[in-house]
Structure 1
């Protein structure tokens, strides 16, 4: 792969992200939809969604696996007499973030820096879009509270409780 081809590919990726941001700024509600499309599975970090989906004392590990896939980290409490364990899902290890980390390995330092800068601008645009929708009263209930880490605590393979932060 020649240097020019890699540079063109990196610039094309940055341009696509920028186009998405500009499109989102034209209609602030669409920016959230765009990001959710790029980050499939991010609903597992949405408190409203989790309240509707995970029922402590009923939801099992098998159901969690079907809904969210394999966890980023799995821990077993070996001192517990009731077979306690917890699973952790981290947003930065999946979706668009996962692919961006991978892309940084294969592009030039200059392109990598441009990608970081574009990501920062995208985060700022999301913050502005959220502020605008709060002021105009168009913020939907589903975009209220999100975290970047979900930890689910189990007892005997059934959800005891969960935390999002």
Structure 2
């Protein structure tokens, strides 16, 4: 694969992830992740510094391993998720992706700006979250998969429940 082709695949992956979240294609969304993937929404320590260690400091969300992502998806279907009752409509926008090779053979880091618009129909309310994504992607035979996703919330004063499909 050429470097340009790799970049196109990486951008396509991020666009698909957003689409799968918005269209509730949970199985397809999970298929984008490696089995040992990390999904992390760190909290802010203060106005300019994020926490650094999700194992010892408070995070909004910290899921280590695809099995924990699968559990979140199962909870949506079982009505055990307060964030998903009823499921809001979402629109994710990902833009300004900057791609850096970490290992020319296998790994890419993609930094992007994002926003998520969440319509909570029971409250007739439109919420918006925004921030930065930091994805680490690993190359498989013909595509990339998500090894880790760090979601940095710019507006971290949460006025609603937060779950994986909001960010």
What is the TM-score with the length of structure 2 in the denominator? 0.29
Question: Which of structures 1 and 2 has the bigger CA Rg?
Answer: 1
The structure whose RCO (Cα within 8 Å, separation 6+) is larger is 1
What is the TM-score with the length of structure 1 in the denominator? 0.29
- Bigger share in helix: 1
